[in-house]
Amino acid sequence: MTPDPPSIQPKTTTRRLRVQHPWPMRVLRTLQFGWARLASSDGYVCARAASFDACFTGPAADVITRHAYRRGVHEPAVTRYLIENVRLQAGEIALDVGANLGWYSILLSRLGEPGARIFAFEPDPETYRLLLRNLQANGAAVEACNFALGESAGTAQLHRYKRSNNGRHTLLSGNASGGIVRVPVHPLSTFWERAGLGARPIRLMKVDVEGFEYFVLRGAGELLRRCACLVLEYNPGSLPSLGLKSQLLTELLAASGLEPHVFVGERLLRVSFAELLATPSQRNLLLTSPAGSRRFC
């Protein structure tokens, strides 16, 4: 068995940031959620973040909404890392690819100075409407785009998962119990050129697109080399399901000069790309350029 790689040493602090409700509050919030769900006239509830000022409206039946309501957080390790380490300066760019209800988009807006630009990409029409609603309700300076990012321009079928987990909609073949919708797809490099973003640096890009991550990054082209910090959902089985080799993604990341780390519980661990290839389960990764590592870690 390969031993755990050494962990990144956390910054010296007297107390770790609390990003989720303590257990007694979670019990109370569970009871409150049941009442809010029954009292809702439209099937939606509002989940308030525990660690920053924001409230997210989402379907009560959705697992992300439910967990955020009870715990006050979505993906606590990643959320804590961003709050403790990321500040967007004027002129810098952040990208939220697969924005869903806007958790990371709104968090990044709270971490950005005036003049920073944040773009959120969400292809599903219904989820996009909720994204816009949440951005407006929270006064978030985020530019939302209702299309998918991919390797080439065109359209694709979005397989919508059942209402219990809107985060599992995918552009790959999958459970389509929620129906199939056709959505536009654009490469990030094309979007970047049309938006006139020029030589601006990408300080943070988060990509969570249920197995389609490789194609998003392919469409980024040389922009990937400009990215100081990439938060990526790693799905080791996605490319083999298409008859492609798993190492295509790790080779692409390695060629970009990014250095991988994996979130494991409360720890952030350094890993090699060879270790990633041997990982059988889905993981949240943090990849940094050498310059990004010095700034963010």
For residues 193 and 145, give the distance between their C-alpha atoms in angstroms, rounded to a whole number. Answer: 15
Tokens of 226: 């400009």
Residue 10 is predicted with a pLDDT of 39
For residues 268 and 289, give the distance between their C-alpha atoms in angstroms, rounded to a whole number. Answer: 16
For residues 152 and 180, give the distance between their C-alpha atoms in angstroms, rounded to a whole number. Answer: 20
> Which residues, 6 or more positions from 78, have their beta carbon under 8 angstroms from its beta carbon?
231, 263, 284, 286
Residue 173 is predicted with a pLDDT of 85
DSSP H helices in 63-204: 63-71, 76-85, 103-110, 125-137, 188-194
Residue 17 is predicted with a pLDDT of 86
Residue 5 is predicted with a pLDDT of 39
Residue 241 to residues 101, 142, 210, 261, Cα–Cα distance (Å)? 28, 34, 12, 25
Residue 204 to residues 63, 74, 225, Cα–Cα distance (Å)? 26, 18, 12
Residue 118: which of 138, 90, 146 has the closest Cα?
Answer: 90
> Whole-model pTM above 0.85?
yes
What tens-digit pLDDT sequence spans the chain (297 residues)?
333 433 333 343 446 788 999 999 999 999 999 999 999 999 999 999 999 999 999 999 999 999 999 999 999 999 999 999 999 999 999 999 999 999 999 999 999 999 999 999 999 999 999 999 999 999 999 999 999 999 999 999 999 998 888 888 999 987 778 899 999 999 999 999 999 999 999 999 999 999 999 999 999 999 999 999 999 999 999 999 899 998 999 999 999 999 999 999 888 999 999 999 998 899 999 999 876 554 444
Q: Where are the domains of the chain?
A: 17-74, 75-296
Residue 296 is predicted with a pLDDT of 46
Amino acid letter at 184?
A: P
Lookup result for tokens 């692409």: 252
- What's 61's DSSP letter? T
CATH code given to domain 75-296: 3.40.50.150
Round the CA-based radius of gyration of the chain to a whole number and report it.
19
Can you say whether residue 75 is alpha, beta or left, with left for phi > 0 and alpha for psi between -120 and 50 degrees? left
